[in-house]
Structure 1
Amino acid sequence: MDWNYVKSFLAIAETGSLDNASQKLRISTTTVFRHIHALEKETGSRLFDRVRGQYQLTDAGVEMMSPARQIMNSFDTIDAKVSGRDQSPSGLVRITAPTSFSYFLLPDYFARFHVEYPDIQLELMTSNQEFNMTQRYADIAIRVAQNPPEHLVGHEVRALSWGIYGTESDAATDDLSTLFARTFIGACGTLHSHPVFKWLETRCRETKQHQCDDLVAMAHLARAGNGLACLPTDLAIPGLKLLAPLSDIASNKLWVLTHPDLRHIERIKQSMRWISKSLRSEPRLSQAV
């Protein structure tokens, strides 16, 4: 039985509503409702009746109270035993990040981080897919998304703008109409459905010599002189020059996130704070023609 389900059950039993329970647990009402639905499915019993807008325990819910409190007391005991370990900035922190950040930014960050926090060991998992944070496959997620998953907490660090990039020899003009007459690297696979490449498709249908399904590879193709590329600022690798910003394309949002149960652990908190500050002030993520 997931202890988050039990926490939500007790919060509703104590407060009488989804809204009050969500405020107490600092999670969304949707998440609380999902927890209760899953717990009722798992136990095979309806645990609450809704009476005049309030959640009241059913007979099965009343019977559930005692074992639920025992479960929470057990977790409180475990928390007390390990709290000393969690209050010091030491131990392992697992970070998952997209390939662009893992290749071009995080190696420098890790080296500087180790000087300031020598007792924290960082583990990097490079992936553009969401890891299961609930099962502790990762402690911190660096993610590019318009909205983060609702089961994670954190903050938006900065916006990542799009632009047209090429080599230094491509930089003769920044006029868009002239640029669109040049050869572009097109997108294929799942990348083809991204709004920026649909936008590009309407402007230069006949000028794509090569296509690619990965932005990192596209950046390297552009640097090698295979054509211009539409890229976000995190893919502006050395050797590429911004030829024109794409102000009509919505910027990506960069987030640093963790699971709610991990955010107060000192090593997680300090690592998130340090990474967020580094990314927020990173000049390589700012556009400069």
Structure 2
Amino acid sequence: MNWRSVNFDWNRARAFLVTAEEGSLSAAAKALGISQPTLGRQVSALEEELSTVLFERGGRGLELTQNGLELLAYVRAMGEAASGLSLAATGRATSIEGEIAISASEITAAYILPPILHKLRNEYPGIRIDLVASNEASDLRRRAADIAIRNFRPTEPDLIARKVGQFSATLYATPEILTTLPSPFPEELREGRFIGFVSNNGAYMSALAERGIKLGEEHFVARTDSHLVHWQMTRAGIGIGVMPLELGDAEPRVEKVFEDILFGGDVWLVSHRELRMNLRVRTVFDFLAAELAECFRKAEN
């Protein structure tokens, strides 16, 4: 879309912004303290002015169209600029505050991020954190999160990424399980019992097979798609599980099955390119990049 020829009415832009953030006309009208019909007319007027549809009705309420998503980043920046102008005019210092949505895997969200987010909150007490703990990659282009931590580099041109470290993982088991395993490894691991995954166990088996550990489904005594549950079952002695070295080595109830590193790769901090215009997102992105890089450096030493 070409926004350069549009003379924005801020009331319409604000109506669009709050509707996008609240997800419904009724919630947005309540947040703005105006009637729903008035809000609806402002949003419709903006759509008419731009000659485009900004919202579609979905199963969970209003959903932004692609043009709506493009406009949202600009209007958010306008809102922050207006707030900054207001603070400057009244002689108050601009602060970093508001909501930030961060997406990370279950393991990262549970074991790595909490102390970092505690430090973030101490430095920026106005920040409110929505932590999305999921092993599925959040769709940053649809604004499912503001910032994501991923184990792969994104290829989409509208996303930006910064490498913050590397991860390494291998197999762990309790000493009781290890005493039942013959040597040498890894060929004889076929006699062990394993914990797998429900949705992608085939991919996990293929990855193990590439490293000389050829298993069938009969070798898996338990499966779960939750990496946290996978790890708890490993610690309980149900079977052999996989975990990053910095977490597995720190757990006294388990030991490495062998010293080889089976899995590894880079860790990336990712955000939508347009969100870098947002002071809050840019500040948190840079903070997380520095803290995660330090965290992974310590893990390597």
TM range (shorter): 0.5 to 0.7
- From 123, 127, 132, the counterpart of 1:120: 127
Q: CA deviation at 1:126?
A: 1.9
Q: Which amino acid aligns with 2:206?
A: K
Cα separation, 1, equivalents of 2:296 and 2:145: 27
Counterparts of 1:82 and 1:170, CA distance in 2: 60
Instruction: Give the structure 2 partner of residue 217 of structure 1.
Output: 229
Partner of 1:158: 165
Conserved 8 A contact 2:164-2:296: no
Q: Which amino acid aligns with 2:255?
A: K
Output the CA distance in 2 between the equivalents of 1:146 and 1:133.
13
Residue 81, structure 1, aligned to residue 92, structure 2: no
Separation of aligned partners in 2, 1:134 and 1:211: 35
Q: CA shift at 1:164, angstroms?
A: 1.4
In structure 1, the residue matched to 2:256 is 242
- Does the CA contact (< 8 Å) of 1:100 and 1:235 recur in 2? no
What amino acid is aligned across from residue 119 of structure 2 in structure 1?
A: R
- Structure 2: how far apart are the matches of 1:77 and 1:283? 36
Per the TM alignment, residue 136 of structure 1 is displaced from its structure 2 partner at its CA by 3.5
Asked whether the equivalents of residues 195 and 222 of structure 2 are also in contact (C-alpha less than 8 Å), the reply is yes
* AA matched with 1:184: R
Give the TM-score taking structure 1 as reference length.
0.60
Separation in 2 of the partners of 1:139 and 1:204? 40
Query: Take 1:132 and 1:209, find their aligned partners in 2: how far apart are those partners?
Result: 32
User: Between Structure 1 and Structure 2, how many residues are aligned?
Assistant: 221
Residue 133, structure 1, aligned to residue 144, structure 2: no
1:200 paired to 2:190: no
* Mapped partners of 1:283, 1:78: distance in 2: 36
Consecutive unaligned residues in structure 1, runs of 5 or more: 9-41, 44-70
3-state SS of 2:215 partner: coil
State the Cα RMSD in Å.
3.9
**Range that drifts further, 142-151 or 115-124:** 142-151
Query: Displacement, 1:229?
Result: 1.8
Kindly indicate whether the alpha-carbon contact (under 8 Å) linking 2:195 and 2:223 is maintained by their aligned counterparts in 1. Answer: yes
The verdict on how the C-alpha distance between 1:224 and 1:83 changes in structure 2, with shifts beyond 3 A counting, is same
- What corresponds to 1:262 in structure 2? 275
CA contact (8 A) 1:161 1:250 kept: yes
1:161 match: secondary structure: strand
Structure 2 SS opposite 1:254: strand
CA contact (8 A) 2:196 2:241 kept: no
User: How many Å separate the matches in 2 of 1:171 and 1:260?
Assistant: 48
1:230 aligned onto 2:242: yes
Q: 1:183 maps to what in 2?
A: 192
2:2 to 3, 6, 9: 6
The structural deviation recorded for 1:223 is 0.7
The structure 2 residue matched to 1:273, chosen from 286, 290, 299, is 286
The residue identity in structure 2 corresponding to 1:211 is A
Q: 2:99 aligns with which of 76, 88, 92?
A: 92
2:118 to 108, 111, 114: 111
Q: The residue matched to 2:125 in structure 1 has which SS?
A: coil
- CA distance in 2 between counterparts of 1:152 and 1:146 reads 10
TM-score by length of structure 2 reads 0.58
SS at structure 2 position matched to 1:210: strand
Question: Taking structure 1 as reference, are residues 283 and 167 closer, same or farther at Cα in structure 2, changes over 3 Å only?
Answer: farther
The letter of the residue matching 2:145 is A
* Aligned partner of residue 180 in structure 1, secondary structure: helix
